[in-house]
Amino acid sequence: MSKALWLAAALFPSERNYEMHANCSGFPSEAPKVGNPEATKAREEWIDVLRGLAILMLLVLHRNTLPGIRTYLNSFLMPLFFAISGYLFHPERHPKVLPFIGSRAVRLLLPYVFFSLLSIPYEIWYAWRMEVPWDKTWLADMLD
């Protein structure tokens, strides 16, 4: 089995993937215990549909310039994401809250800071090229 198929089987466990692991050479006869098949079967489809709809509404929000639609979507979309996250959070998996928050903060803030710093030269170039006054840029707002 190729590395890509093995990686996909490891990341997205299913009964079929377990059979693939068990029947291929180079792997142990017992399939690796990746994920919990019972939890995968018990997955609630309505929450996946709700997440998908929320993501689609977020795309509409970011692409739409009609003020009525923007106001309407802004009124409930972010609280909807927070409610979904709260519903899907399992405190028994993370009994200690601070290490969980710390690991998530590092995982989310490091790319944010990296790409923010990476965008500073572009912001300066764009403001210079478009002859935007310095005080009208987001970088000037951030440094104030």
Residue 9 corresponds to which tokens in the numbers above? 């089987």
**pTM of this prediction exceeds 0.75:** no
Given this model, what pLDDT does residue 111 score? Answer: 94
Query: How far is Cα 121 from Cα 119, in angstroms, rounded to an integer?
Result: 6
**For residues 17 and 30, is the Cβ–Cβ distance under 8 A?**
no
Per-residue pLDDT reduced to its tens digit, 89-134: 888 888 888 998 899 899 999 999 999 899 888 888 887 888 877 6
Given this model, what pLDDT does residue 38 score? Answer: 57
- Can you tell me whether residue 49 is helix, strand or coil? helix
Query: How far is Cα 120 from Cα 140, in angstroms, rounded to an integer?
Result: 11
Q: How many CA atoms lie within 13 A of 71 on its CB side?
A: 3
User: pLDDT averaged over the chain?
Assistant: 76
